[in-house]
Amino acid sequence: MDSGQRNDLPPSLREIRTGFQQFLQEPSSTSRKRNPLMTIERTTTKRRMVGESTGLSVGGNTDPLVHLETPVVANRKLTRSFLTKASPSPGGLPALLSTPGENTDIRELRLQLSKAKYEASRAQSELEHERLTHESERLEWEKTLKEHTLRLDRLEKDRRFLFEKEKEASEKYFQAENEMQTLKDDYEKRIHQVREQATEWLEQYQADAAKQDENGAQAQIEAWRDRVAGYEKTVAQLQDQLEERAISNEETLKSCLQAQNRANQLEQELAGLRAGQHREHELGSLSGELKHQVGYIKTLESKIRGLQQELESYESRHENYELLQEKNSELEQRVRLLEPLRDELTTLETEITQMREEKAQWQSSLQNILDVNKGEPDGPQSENLDPSTLTPLRLTDIAIQQRREIAALYEQMGTLRADASGTHVEVRDLQQQLSTAQSRVTQLEQQHSRDKRTLQRLEKLRVLAQRETEFLREQLKSYDMEELSFADDGPHDKVKSQRIAELEQLVQEYRDQVVRLNEQLTQRPTPAESTGQLVPHGVLEDQSDANVSAQLAQDNEALRREQTRLQQLLDKQERELTLLEHRVGLGDYNPRTTRVLQLAENPTSQAYAIRETTLQNLRLENEQLREQLTQSKSPGVGESGPTPSLPSQTVQNLLADHKAMQHQVEEKEKRMRRLKEGWRAKAQEMREAVYSLLGYRVDFLENGRVRLTSMYSEAADHSFIFTSSQNDSGTLELVGGGNAGYVRSLDHLIKFWVVGRGSIPAFLATVTLELFDKTTAMMPPGHHVGWRGRDEMSESMTMSLATTTPSTQEHDGTAPNGSTS
Amino acid sequence: MLISTDDALQAYLKQILAQLESWLMAGQISKLIMAINSKETRETIERWQFDIHVVDTKDENGGGAPPPPKSEKAIHAEIAAIIRQITASVTFLPMLEEKCTFNILVYADNNAEVPTTWIDSDPHYIKKNSEQVKLRSFSTDVHKVDALVAYRLENEL
């Protein structure tokens, strides 16, 4: 509601202000602008009337004089004079102005008269103009007055509205004050209670709780403070609103005063205007109206005064209001102080309950622990634990102590584990060693068993050897016995002793050999297994070996014989093979299985057939000739007459020959024709090429002469004739021209190029260039001469060819004929 | 390599080759011979012999997997080698100083089908003083060809 009021007020004031400004400005600017227009409109209507009455069309003439013409002085003369002035052309109305020399005075007078009349009319119009301006001013004034009254009404309405609002505000304020008072009382009471409680709680709390709770309380207190700040803000806003209202009241007062001032000014102006006005009746009415207006303004002023008084009363009220606001703010501050305390109280209460619950839990849990500990009397802290003495601190101490013990135990365990791992490693090493040792043991055992076996074998061998020695000794004994029995034989003694010694030596050798064999055996334990069995049968084997060798030798002999036989066979076979191969190479075949075939129409047979026929023919001829001979030799017939000397067969043979020759000739002619055609085509091509490239048509004449006609020659007989030099090697000499005059005209060129420089090509080129210049001099520049020339060339080429072909044919035809003949 | 442009010769060869193909496919041919004869004496001067061994595909008694088919490139290479040898044989073959003709003979099976255009012929032996040189051979999947040239030596004896 307050903001709406504020928005409403300034526009109204503005309207008032703008209205006054318009009121002050309009008489000076807008009204004066409008009045001349009105006059112009009027004059134009008059002029139209004049035009209609006189019957003369003024048309688009905008001369100012036309405007000033009045209906009162619209006589003929004037119009005539006007017309003369309006249209200064000499051919306008010459009949109306009869004698110029006589009427000069009259004309001047007329002019003077018209001038006077013009001045009078001008004065009148000015007067009218002024009157009109005053009238319009008056109307404007009335309008502004009406607007003003309307605005005043609006202002009054606004004021009333404001007054009501203020009343409401004050009522509200009173109510608020009362509420505040009651609230204050309540709060004070409650604060007292709370404080008491708080002191109690605080005491309790400080005894039990930790410092953390205080922080929470402080936060709450801050929240309370924030709220108080919010209240302060609202109070400040209210104060601002009050101030604004006061300001607005002042503004309305100011505007009223301004309005009064303007009214006064207007009065003064009106008085001034009244003094300036001349016309009595109009002015009288105007002054009457003005007086009426002045009276009205006075009533307005009185009203404004009343409003001012009201404003003053409002201001006094406003002061009261401000005082009340101050009180209110004080009370709010107090409330702000109280509210955090209340919140703090509630939080403290809740915290205390929590603490108590916690304590109860602690105690119950401790009791439980104690009960458990009592069950185990060995517990290290059992004697220290009493439910009464147990506090959390003590418990934590106990817990720390126990943790330390646990840590110590852990350390011990760690060291033990390390030891265990060390021992594990050792055990593993030992196991590995054991396994290696076992493997070695097995190896050794194997070796041992092998050794054993060899040992056994050796043992057997030894036993065998011993037996042999025993056997030998017995033999010796027998010898001894023999010796004894033949003791008488003296010479035998020595011999026997010698023999014994030899035998002993043999035995010794044998033993040595045995030992050596044993050594060898021990050195080679693996093959001993295989040889061990053979060794005892050594003697037997020796015997069988001999048999086998003999047998083998026999076999060998047989085989060798076989081999030689086979070798011989092979050689024979190979010889046969080569022979056969040769035969095959020759083309031999088995007529039973294969047959040799040939195509009936083969070249060999054809050749042979030809030969055969010729041979037969010749044979026949020969016989016939022989017959003829015998006939000729026989007398009578040969001399009788010249009977056909040639036999029919010879004639036939000759005819056949003739035919063959004819055939050959035909073939050759055909070839010649083809060659000629080819040459002709080539020659034509050559000529054409020469003509297009070098610009000269080359015609071969008889006697080896050559005629050259330029492409650009002016006349058909403008040509050069060359003749080949003596040895027909292709070099040419300039002999003359088709037209002697023409050649003479080129004498200087011939002298310069042919005689002087010895160059026919250069001479021809210069001639070509000159002719080209001559023939193309008549041509328009840009015309492509080359193409035209070519077209002409082709035409002329065909013409020339048509003319020259018979001669060339003749030329070509003579040579082969000559050669053939 | 030289290729003949004589139409008559080409027609002749074409006829022979067409017949040869049928015989080859039937496996009824054992030799193909080109004999060069003297026009004058009708003696055979050179005798180019190509032994054809047709591989009997129906023969299963041999056992074992048949050898893998030869690549065309390898066959061409073998043929090229033979042709090379034949052209090189100009160096040792005696010069042909007289006018000669040639004839192509076929050694066919007795029971082979013979068209009427073919007639029996003598084997065109080189009668005296013959010499022979074995040339390379080539083989395809179907047949194996051994080449051999026999020729009459100059009159040295």
Residue range A380-399, pLDDT digits in tens: 444 455 555 667 788 889 89
Provide the shortest C-alpha distance from residue A615 to chain B (in Å): 12
Give the pLDDT score at A411: 94
- The b/e string for A299-338 (b: 16+ C-beta within 10 A; e otherwise) is ebeeebeebeebbeebeebbeebeebbeebbebbebbbeb
CB contact under 8 A, B107 and A594: yes
Instruction: Assess if residue B111 is contained within a domain.
Output: yes
* Element housing A134 (H / E): helix A104-208
The more confidently predicted of residues A80 and B43 is B43
The more confidently predicted of residues B95 and A283 is B95
Asked if pLDDT for residue A666 goes beyond 90, the answer is yes
Provide the shortest C-alpha distance from residue B60 to chain A (in Å): 24
B-chain residues near A578 (CB < 8 A): none
DSSP assignment of A547-606, as one string?
Answer: HHHHHHHHHHHHHHHHHHHHHHHHHHHHHHHHHHHHHHHHT---TTTEEEEEESS-HHHH
Please, are residues A600 and B118 in contact by the beta-carbon 8 Å criterion? Answer: yes
Asked if pLDDT for residue A488 goes beyond 60, the answer is no
Q: Is residue A481 very low, low, confident or very high in pLDDT (cuts 50, 70, 90)?
A: confident
* Element housing A236 (H / E): helix A212-276
Instruction: Assess if residue B157 is contained within a domain.
Output: no
Instruction: Assess if residue B2 is contained within a domain.
Output: no
Q: What is the pTM of this model?
A: 0.32
d(CA A296, CA A290): 10
CA gyration radius for chain B? 17
Instruction: Assess if residue B133 is contained within a domain.
Output: yes
Assigned token pair, A791: 């077209």
d(CA B157, CA B91): 21
Which CATH number is B45's domain given?
Answer: 3.30.900.10
Mean per-residue pLDDT, A150-156:
91
Instruction: Assess if residue B83 is contained within a domain.
Output: yes
Distance from chain centroid for Cα A780: 62
Total count of domains within chain B: 1
Q: Which parts of A376-524 fold into alpha helices (H)?
A: 392-485, 490-523
Which of the residue ranges A77-86, A207-216, A632-641 would you say has the lowest mean pLDDT? A77-86
- Cα–Cα distances in angstroms (integers) from residue A734 to residues A285, A724, B139, in the given order: 143, 9, 75
- Cα–Cα distances in angstroms (integers) from residue A641 to residues A600, A632, B53, B110, in the given order: 50, 10, 73, 65
Q: Residues of chain A whose C-beta is under 8 A from some C-beta in B? A: 582, 584-589, 592-608, 611
Q: Which of A583, A588, A598 to mutate to test the interface with B (most CBs of B within 10 A)?
A: A598
Residue range A341-360, pLDDT digits in tens: 999 999 999 999 999 999 89
Give the pLDDT score at A101: 60
Instruction: Assess if residue B140 is contained within a domain.
Output: yes
Asked if pLDDT for residue A639 goes beyond 80, the answer is no
Asked if pLDDT for residue B127 goes beyond 60, the answer is yes
Place of tokens 């099976």: B109
Measure the N-to-C terminal CA separation of chain B; round to a whole number of Å.
35
Q: Which of B28, B39, B111 to mutate to test the interface with A (most CBs of A within 10 A)?
A: B39
Residue A271, classed as helix, strand or coil, is helix
Instruction: Assess if residue B60 is contained within a domain.
Output: yes
A-chain residues near B147 (CB < 8 A): none
Place of tokens 């009261």: A320
Print the domain residue range for B110. 7-152
Asked if pLDDT for residue A623 goes beyond 50, the answer is yes
Give the pLDDT score at A728: 59
Q: Is residue A58 very low, low, confident or very high in pLDDT (cuts 50, 70, 90)?
A: very low
d(CA A133, CA A34): 9
Q: Is residue A727 very low, low, confident or very high in pLDDT (cuts 50, 70, 90)?
A: low
Least CA distance to B120: which residue of chain A?
A: A597
DSSP assignment of A9-46, as one string?
Answer: HHHHHHHHHHHHHHHHHTTTTHHHHHHHHHHHHHHHHH
- Counted across chains A and B, CB pairs separated by less than 8 A come out at 101
| Complex-level ipTM | 0.75
CB contact under 8 A, B12 and A601: yes
Asked if pLDDT for residue A800 goes beyond 50, the answer is no
CB contact under 8 A, A586 and B130: yes
CB contact under 8 A, B132 and A582: yes
Distance from chain centroid for Cα A186: 80
Residue A494, classed as helix, strand or coil, is helix
d(CA B130, CA A586): 8
Give the pLDDT score at A802: 44
Q: Is residue A739 very low, low, confident or very high in pLDDT (cuts 50, 70, 90)?
A: confident
Mean per-residue pLDDT, A649-661:
88
Q: Report which listed range, A283-292, A366-375, A627-636, is most confident.
A: A283-292
Residue B100: phi and psi, rounded to 5, are -130, 155
Give the pLDDT score at B56: 65
Give the pLDDT score at B98: 86
The closest CB to that of A604, out of B103, B107, B109, belongs to B103
- DSSP structural state of residue A755: I
Instruction: Assess if residue B136 is contained within a domain.
Output: yes
CB contact under 8 A, A600 and B119: yes
Residue range B78-125, pLDDT digits in tens: 889 988 988 898 888 888 888 888 889 888 888 888 888 888 888 888
Please, are residues A585 and B49 in contact by the beta-carbon 8 Å criterion? Answer: yes
Output the CA angle A162-A163-A164, nearest 5 degrees. Answer: 90
Give the pLDDT score at B55: 75
CB contact under 8 A, B132 and A598: no
Burial class from Cβ neighbours inside 10 Å (0-12, 13-18, 19+) for residue B104 reads buried
Give the pLDDT score at B66: 58
> Does B121 lie at the interface with A, CB-CB under 8 angstroms?
yes
Asked if pLDDT for residue A674 goes beyond 90, the answer is yes
